[in-house]
């Protein structure tokens, strides 16, 4: 819990020291997201200069999870290509029989397949390389699982995306 509190305070401080950016560095990005529980392809699309929709197909040891996020992006630390972002969304998925890993280490074994359904949030930083169509992100993704819970999960994430203007 101490780690969670510390990381939450650090990411929240980014919001307090960020300023709004009126232009995104790209319109669409496709790439890979590596997380604490799932890894897989992702797509991000800006609907406004600072608002993006992101979809992630997370592949687990024994299942799939689809996550959709609504994100707000702001310039961070007065660095034009560095963005702080935060947002919310939801996930739905299915996992088969096996060990279901959780953030707090309280893993649970399920003898049958089951549905995953719940709410998600995201807090992170994304840097767009100045001379290449590449964006790199680092984030935290809190998740409230409702279908098999309720319980709370928190997963770190690393994203690598190819950007399109």
The pLDDT value given to residue 19: 40
Q: How far is CA 100 from CA 39, 91, 148, in A?
A: 15, 16, 10
Taking 50 as the threshold, does the pLDDT of residue 47 lie above it? yes
Q: Facing residues of 164 across strands?
A: 28
Q: In the predicted model, what is the mean pLDDT of residues 97-122?
A: 80
The pLDDT value given to residue 56: 97
* 19 or 158, higher pLDDT: 158
The pLDDT value given to residue 28: 97
Percent residues over pLDDT 90 in the chain: 59
Model confidence band, residue 124 (pLDDT cutoffs 50, 70, 90): very high
14-26 confidence digits (pLDDT tens) = 444 444 343 468 9
Fold type of domain 2-164: Porin (2.40.160)
Q: DSSP label at 19?
A: B
Give domain limits for the chain. Answer: 2-164
The pLDDT value given to residue 3: 54
Taking 50 as the threshold, does the pLDDT of residue 126 lie above it? yes
Specify the pTM.
Answer: 0.81
The pLDDT value given to residue 103: 63
Answer yes or no: are the C-beta atoms of 56 and 45 closer than 8 Å.
no
Contacts of 61 (CB under 8 A, 6+ apart): 98, 99, 101
Closest CA to 25 of 123, 133, 137, 122: 133
């Amino acid at each position: 819990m101490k780690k969670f509190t510390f990381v939450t305070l650090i990411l929240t401080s980014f919001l307090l020291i960020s300023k709004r950016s009126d232009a995104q560095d790209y319109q669409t990005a496709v790439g890979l997201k590596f997380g604490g529980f799932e890894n897989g392809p992702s797509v991000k699309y800006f609907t406004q200069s600072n608002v993006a929709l992101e979809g992630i197909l997370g592949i687990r040891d024994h299942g799939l999870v689809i996550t959709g996020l609504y994100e707000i992006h702001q310039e961070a630390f007065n660095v034009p290509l560095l963005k702080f972002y935060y947002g919310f969304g939801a996930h739905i998925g299915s996992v088969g029989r096996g060990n279901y890993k959780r953030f707090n280490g309280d893993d649970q074994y399920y003898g049958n397949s089951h549905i995953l359904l719940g709410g998600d949030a995201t807090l992170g930083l994304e840097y767009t390389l100045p001379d290449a169509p590449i964006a790199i992100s680092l984030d935290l993704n809190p998740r409230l699982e409702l279908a098999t819970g309720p319980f709370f999960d928190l997963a770190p994430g690393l994203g690598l995306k190819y950007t399109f203007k």
